[in-house]
Structures are given as C-alpha cells and as structure tokens.
Amino acid sequence: MNYILDRNLRLRGWSDRLGGLYDSNSGKIWFFGKERFLLLLKCDGAHDIDPESLPEDLRVFFEKMQKEGAVKKAGFLEFLNPKQEYKRYPAAYKRSVHWSVTGACNLKCRHCFMSAPHAKHGAPTHEQILQIVDSIAECGIFDVGITGGEPLIREDFLDIVSTLSERDIHISTIYTNGWLVDEKLLGELEKRGQHPSFQLSYDGVGMHDFLRGVQGAEEKTINAIKLLNERGYGISVSMCVHKKNTDTLRETVKLLASLGVSSMKAGSMMSLGEWSQPEVAELQLSPQENFEMIERYIPQYFEDNAPLSIMLSGAFMYTPGDDEWNIFYKRECDADKEKSASSCGVLTENFYIGADGMVAPCMGMCDCGYAGNFPNLFRTPLREIIAPESDFNRLCHTTVAEVRDKSGKCRDCKYIDRCAGGCRNGALMAGDNYYAPDPENCNFFDNGWEERITAAAQPAFEAYIKRCPPKKRDDIVKPEETVDNCP
C-alpha cells in the first residue's frame, strides 16, 4: 500500500538536524528520530509500506500519524508535489527571526533604545530587503516577526509581505505603534495569506502621548487595538514603566483586558539610545522602585481576577487558568544540568536582524557597547553566520555553566542553585562582557525580593484560586463567555 503526506506538510532538514516535518498551514515544525523520519520519507506515494511488518514502535507511530491526518493512503498516481519533497538547508536550525525592516519611526519616543526618531540604524533599500528575504529562505527559516523602528511606514511594506508569502515564510507577529493599523492594511495582509498577531506598545492611561512624543498617539493605539480585536487578530501589549506612569498600571491592565488584549509585559526601560539622555534619565526607575511597584500591584492584579496574562519584568508572571504563578528570574539549574542547560532558551532558536544588516542574538543588543562584535549579513552570508559551529551560533547556545564559569562571580554566589545568570542582554547593558551576570537578577536575589514578591503574591493568588478555580487548558473559555467574572 502506498501512503502520502498531507499536502500542507513538507520534509525538511538542517545542517544540525536530520529532518523535520514543516506544516506550511500552521507554521509549526516537528522533529523526529532517524527511523521515524526515514519512514516519513517513504510517505511520498511511490513507496510501498506494509504497516503490519513495521516494528511495533514504528507501527504505533505510523497509526498515530494516520489518525492525526498527517499521513493518508495515496490515490492512483498521487505523489508529493515538489515543495513537499525533502530539502536540507545549509545552516543550523532557527525557528524564527526578529527582523527590523527599518530603523526609522513616525513617533518621537523618549525611551527608544535604538534611537529610531533619528533613524540611527538607517533603513535597508528594497534590493537589500529582497537580499535579506533570500537569506532567510536559504536558511530554512519559516517564521518572521517584523519590527522597526515602525515597520508600517515603509512604502514597500506590502511588497515585503508578498515576497515573504511567495517564499512560504509565515509572519508570526508585527510589532507596531498602531498609528497606521487600519482596515486596508488588514485586508491586504489577508489577501497575501498572512494573519499575524500584533504587539503594540501602550504606556499607561493618560500617559502614552508623553512617552511617545506625539499628540494623539494614545487614541491611535486604542483604536488599533479595538480594530484588531474586531477582526480576530491576536493582540499583546508592552508597557514601559517610569516614574510618571507607575500609578496607572492597574487601570491600564483593566482597560487593555476589556479591549481584548490577551497578554501584557511591563517593565522599566533600558538606559540606551534616547533613554540615556540627561533630560529623561531622571525618570528611570531604580531596581528597588521597579520591584516595589510590582510588589504593590500583584495583590491588585489578583483582586481584579487576573484579567490577562502578564509578565512584570522577570519578577512575576501568570497566565489565567494556570495553577501556579512564577518568577522568571528563578531558573533552577544544578551542577548536573548546567553544562547542557541553555542560558537563554529563546536565543537557541531565535535571533535578530537589524535594519543595518547586523545579526545579533537579541534585538536589545543592537545598540550596546558589544554590538561591534556581531556579524553583518551584507558582508557575511547568513548561512555562514548561523552555521552550527559559527562563533555567533555558539553565543546563542551559551550554557549556564559558561556563564557561571566565565563571570567570575556566579560560582561563589549562594543563589547559584536558583539563578541561571540572568539575561544576556541585561549583562551587556551593564558592560561589554557577554558572559557576565545580569545585575537585575543579582539585585532581585541579593536584596530579598524573591521572598517579598512571594509574600505579596501567594496569599492573593490563593484567594483568587478559591474564587476562580484553575481550568483545564481545553476548558478555558473566551473572555466573552466568562462565568462569575472569573476569566
């Protein structure tokens, strides 16, 4: 009997991974061991497969693949189309890339770490844009998050979308200030087969215009959120907190939840770019002020029945429906695991391409003192930059053991069992040592904030759980279907 893969599935491999199955419809990738993948290679309509003759583990796997619709019996002369056939890419596997298509912006944000109001990092030409898309496709990267500056100011933005769509590259998220989000844009995205989520910035009720430097920015952002919600787009928000807007946090969260925002991140700004200027530096929260704000707000968040998923710096995060809250800074890793545990799991499968062609592990690193050490894809092919044994890829795969061994501090720290050294971006903000500990992490543990945040959160969480018992993931209802005001 001949079998064939579902038409949305494609056989793919990378320099460091034999093979995976890419779903062009959802953008997801699954990896398999050698024997299972070799079996999938035969699901091309041309090979005869007798399931009963397969070893038991392979037979069970094959039956599961059929049950889930990934594999079916092939029709007469039915074969894989060329796009489905096995292809191996000349680079290490990267799940996605965060790409600045411009370094310019239509707002004048006081806190912009990449100085977009002055277009410090420039903007690639259309020809360079096409070169970058070619490089992304050549490396087998199927997922792109598009950012800026403000990406929607590019006159060729929809051409970029078309080119990505033609290459079967999925736009997972568009990061925007919302000013240019309208019905026409969404319609054009959908015409091109793209339905990304949107991440917008919103910096507090009544305070957004102040930080964004342009009158009317708050109204534009709120209108964009309303439109996106009406059109069924996923919406997340980031809020930059400073001394003038800390008191708006509770009202802001409640407003955003009422508008259909599903998740939110809030934290103080990086002292880079525009925010490093003397006229705004006095607005920066100290670590203590930031953590005190979080400590005050957590009980209010649970009193409001956890209206949306939230992450407050790395000190607190919670998703409604979960049976526990978490501290992101707290990443337990003992000596047995530290040599294999990644210092940052995000960097192992994701990276950043700047508007000037710079390739960095993380967007926040684009303007730090260490940035001169990063490669540029206009000078070095991307496939070489992210090759399995490249210096750049090794940075992305930095282990907890490397941070602890090279920092000169972590090995003697009494919190070594619960801290993985923190964020590499945070380390570079404080100096030019990629392997240094993150000062914000150190501050959190050294000054007793783990205990203080726990004392603030746990009683409030337990009271919330009594009112709103955790639901199984597949039982979580939509906000408009909530019962007893418990999302």
> Residue 3 pLDDT > 90, yes or no?
yes
Q: What is the mean pLDDT of residues 404-423?
A: 88
Which pLDDT score is estimated for 418?
Answer: 87
Q: What is the mean pLDDT of residues 339-366?
A: 94
Strand 29-31 and strand 17-23: pairing?
A: antiparallel
> H/E element holding 467?
helix 449-467
> Residue 470 pLDDT > 70, yes or no?
yes
Confidence of residue 278 (pLDDT cuts 50, 70, 90): confident
Which pLDDT score is estimated for 116?
Answer: 65
> Residue 369 pLDDT > 90, yes or no?
no
User: Long-range CB contacts (< 8 A, 24+ apart) of 427-434?
Assistant: 428/365, 428/368, 428/369, 428/370, 429/270, 429/271, 429/272, 429/364, 429/368, 431/369, 432/368, 432/369, 432/370, 433/406, 433/407, 434/370, 434/395, 434/398
Alpha helix segments (H runs only) across 350-434: 382-385, 391-396, 400-407, 424-430
> Residue 289 pLDDT > 60, yes or no?
yes
Q: What is the mean pLDDT of residues 277-294?
A: 87
> Residue 237 pLDDT > 80, yes or no?
yes
Instruction: Convert the pLDDT of each residue in 57-72 to its tens digit.
Output: 999 999 999 999 999 9
Q: What is the mean pLDDT of residues 408-422?
A: 88
> Residue 478 pLDDT > 70, yes or no?
no
Confidence of residue 206 (pLDDT cuts 50, 70, 90): very high
> Residue 475 pLDDT > 60, yes or no?
no
φ, ψ at 19 (rounded to 5°): -165, 150
Alpha helix segments (H runs only) across 236-350: 249-258, 278-281, 287-303, 345-349
Confidence of residue 328 (pLDDT cuts 50, 70, 90): very high
Predicted model pTM:
0.91
Instruction: Convert the pLDDT of each residue in 134-163 to its tens digit.
Output: 999 999 999 999 999 999 999 999 999 999
> Residue 16 pLDDT > 50, yes or no?
yes
Higher pLDDT, 79 or 411: 79
> Residue 341 pLDDT > 70, yes or no?
yes
Neighbours of 292 (CB within 10 A): 15
Residue 169, amino acid: I
Q: How many CA within 13 A on the CB side of residue 169?
A: 28
Give the Cα separation of 235 and 231 in Å (integer). Answer: 11
How many helices (H) and strands (E) would you count in the chain?
Answer: 17, 17
Report the Cα–Cα distance between both ends of the chain, in Å, rounded. 49
> Residue 285 pLDDT > 70, yes or no?
yes
Give the Cα separation of 444 and 215 in Å (integer). Answer: 37
Q: What is the mean pLDDT of residues 439-458?
A: 96
Tell me the CA distances in angstroms from 241 to 269, 272, 286, 408, 434, one per residue in order. Answer: 7, 15, 11, 32, 26
φ, ψ at 23 (rounded to 5°): -95, 105
Which pLDDT score is estimated for 455?
Answer: 98
Which pLDDT score is estimated for 83?
Answer: 94
> Residue 313 pLDDT > 60, yes or no?
yes
Confidence of residue 274 (pLDDT cuts 50, 70, 90): low
